[in-house]
């Protein structure tokens, strides 16, 4: 569209709109000031008197800027790149120079926090991590991104945290999951076991009668939340299958004649492959178990001898009856008939 004259009022509106909204396209400018896009384009491209062609410049995104607001213009092969003194242009430029990298941490490093050294493009950098750093946390290192020689600016480096898997712990929000393996004796009679926490190893009481799959809660032993507030540590109990007692009848009798099974020393218990007993109540329970085992063995043995004796008795009875019959019955000789 060509025009023979240009209104200074319309040109002033377009100029004011571009100054307030640098980088706006012609259709957006037309919408803001209530003109047709063709009319706005005619002012922007025209270098005649009243036009704005000598006052504006277009970027690679077809946005318009006033030359008076530009600090410098850099000509490239295909487009124009420039740096304005406005906050928006400076922010867009620095954003393009930012870089992101992955920062791997052990679970202990993330929990304790502190200084962490890492290498980026051959340069060793240090960051101060807060205690209780979590998975996917993001940290910024100012002025360590990419460098632009044309503008003499450097972006920022962003670190995305990845916590490596742990052999004993598993994070679940604010809680820490831990698996404890116990034997059947501790599960049945109770006792104490050593449990690893983020603060170190502690003794934990296991109640009698606990089953595999049940959990115990250690309050305040989980992940850091805020300040001194912490989550919980959940202990999942896994019970090992019980082992059969490997004792001879003589050894069982020896144990049963003890007034208190707990008087046996550790070597004797280990030699008999029996569980260690810590109190008299557990000793009595084990004695009852051994009595039942011994009684069952004798019952099986007695049943076997019973059937064997019954079989032998039957055989002897048949033989005795045959002998008696042979002695009591008179012997008769066969009678021969005389034939003439």
143-201 pLDDT per residue, tens: 888 888 787 888 899 999 999 999 999 999 899 999 999 998 899 999 999 999 999 99
Taking residues 322-339, report their average pLDDT. Answer: 56
Residues 180 and 224 in one domain: yes
Residues 214 and 263 in one domain: no
Answer whether 60's CB lies under 8 Å from 80's CB. yes
What's the pLDDT at 70?
Answer: 59
Using a CB cutoff of 8 Å and minimum separation of 24, what contacts does 101-104 make? 101/157, 101/158, 101/159, 101/160, 102/159, 102/160, 102/162, 103/127, 103/139, 103/159, 103/160, 103/161, 103/162, 104/162, 104/163, 104/164
Is the pLDDT reported for residue 9 higher than 70? yes
Is the pLDDT reported for residue 102 higher than 80? yes
Within a domain: 229: yes
Q: What are phi and psi of 244, to 5 degrees?
A: -70, 145
The number of domains in the chain is: 4
114-143 pLDDT per residue, tens: 999 998 888 899 999 999 999 999 999 988
80-92 pLDDT per residue, tens: 444 334 444 445 5
Taking residues 222-251, report their average pLDDT. Answer: 79
Within a domain: 327: no
Residues 144 and 179 in one domain: no
pTM, to two decimals? 0.46
Angle, to 10 degrees, between the axis of helix 8-20 and the axis of helix 37-45? 90
Whole-number Å distance between alpha carbons of 162 and 110: 9
Domain boundary among 187, 219, 239: 239
Taking residues 302-314, report their average pLDDT. Answer: 69
Where is pLDDT greater, at 256 or 325?
A: 325
- Helix, strand, coil % over all residues of the chain, rounded to 5: 35, 25, 35
Residues 102 and 151 in one domain: yes
Where is pLDDT greater, at 106 or 27?
A: 106
Where is pLDDT greater, at 56 or 293?
A: 56
Within a domain: 88: no
What's the pLDDT at 330?
Answer: 55
Question: Of all helices (H) and strands (E), which one includes residue 125?
Answer: strand 123-129
Is the pLDDT reported for residue 202 higher than 50? yes
Domain boundary among 128, 163, 198: 163
Residues 105 and 67 in one domain: no
For position 221, which CATH number holds?
A: 2.60.260.20
Band of pLDDT at residue 8, cut at 50, 70 and 90: confident
Whole-number Å distance between alpha carbons of 216 and 280: 27
Within a domain: 220: yes
Band of pLDDT at residue 73, cut at 50, 70 and 90: very low
- The per-residue pLDDT of the chain, averaged, comes to 75
Band of pLDDT at residue 5, cut at 50, 70 and 90: low
Residues 177 and 138 in one domain: no
Is the pLDDT reported for residue 309 higher than 50? yes
What's the pLDDT at 219?
Answer: 94
249-299 pLDDT per residue, tens: 445 545 555 544 455 555 555 555 555 444 545 555 555 555 555 444 444
Is the pLDDT reported for residue 108 higher than 90? yes
Within a domain: 149: yes
64: containing domain: 8-75
């Amino acid at each position: 569209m060509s025009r023979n004259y240009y209104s200074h009022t319309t040109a002033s509106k377009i100029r004011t709109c571009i100054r307030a909204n640098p980088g706006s396209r012609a259709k957006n400018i037309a919408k803001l000031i209530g003109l047709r896009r063709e009319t706005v384009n005619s002012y922007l491209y025209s270098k005649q008197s009243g036009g704005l062609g000598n006052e504006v410049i277009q970027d690679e995104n077809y946005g318009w800027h006033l030359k008076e607001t530009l600090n410098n213009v850099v000509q490239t092969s295909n487009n124009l790149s420039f740096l304005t003194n406005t906050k928006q242009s400076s922010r867009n430029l620095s954003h393009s120079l930012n870089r992101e990298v992955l920062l791997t941490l052990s679970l202990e490093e993330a929990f304790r926090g502190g200084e962490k050294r890492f290498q980026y493009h051959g340069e060793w950098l240090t960051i101060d991590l807060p205690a209780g750093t979590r998975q996917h946390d993001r940290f910024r290192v100012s002025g360590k991104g990419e460098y632009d020689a044309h503008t003499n600016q450097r972006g920022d480096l962003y670190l995305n945290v990845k916590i490596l898997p742990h052999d004993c712990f598993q994070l679940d929000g604010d809680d820490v999951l831990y698996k404890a393996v116990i034997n059947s004796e501790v599960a049945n009679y109770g006792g104490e076991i050593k449990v690893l926490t983020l603060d170190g190893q502690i003794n934990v009481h296991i109640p009698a009668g606990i089953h595999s799959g049940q959990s115990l809660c250690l309050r305040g032993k989980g992940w850091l939340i805020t300040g001194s507030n912490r989550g919980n540590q959940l202990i999942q109990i896994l019970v090992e299958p019980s082992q059969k007692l490997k004792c001879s009848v003589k050894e069982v009798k020896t144990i049963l004649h003890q007034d208190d099974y707990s008087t046996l020393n550790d070597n004797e218990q280990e030699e008999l492959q029996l569980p260690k007993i810590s109190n008299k109540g557990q000793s009595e329970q084990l004695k009852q178990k051994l009595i039942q085992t011994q009684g069952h063995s004798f019952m099986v043995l007695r049943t076997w001898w019973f059937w064997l004796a019954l079989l032998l008795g039957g055989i002897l009875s048949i033989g005795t009856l045959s002998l008696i019959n042979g002695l009591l019955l008179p012997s008769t000789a066969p009678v021969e008939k005389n034939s003439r």
